[in-house]
Amino acid sequence: MSEAPHNPLSPIVFHVLLAIADGHEHGYAIGKAVEETSGLRVGPGTIYGSLQRMERDGLVAESVDRADERRRPFVMTEEGRRALEAEAARIDRLAVLARSRDLVPGPETA
């Protein structure tokens, strides 16, 4: 698999894409998911600023499925999915390398 043009992704972009990998979500829910998966505290400015840049870069788009006019749901584009998959593969390769150097336990020793 070749690297997507957006890789490596920043941690916040990676976690935002993970948050919407299975469907559309609005900014507040994305922020909560990012906090859960990353362990980082992220404010609305970080989330909405990232979403704006990601939309400009073609990684996400505003969803047409808008049940609440006050909330702007986002979906991952095909380009966003390719970037997320490439970044996940990159992280996996790094994890394999780290395990091979006994920096973290492997699945059989965890």
Per-residue model confidence as pLDDT tens digits over 1-57: 445 567 799 999 999 999 999 998 999 999 999 999 999 999 999 999 999 999 999
* Better pLDDT: 22 or 66: 22
Confidence (pTM): 0.85
Could you tell me if 74 and 61 are in contact, meaning their C-beta atoms sit under 8 angstroms apart?
yes
Beta-bridge partners for 26: 73
Per-residue b/e over 76-90, b at no fewer than 16 CB within 10 Å?
bbebbebbbebbeeb
Per-residue pLDDT, 66 = 62
Segment 60-77 mean pLDDT: 83
Say if residue 75's pLDDT is above 80: yes
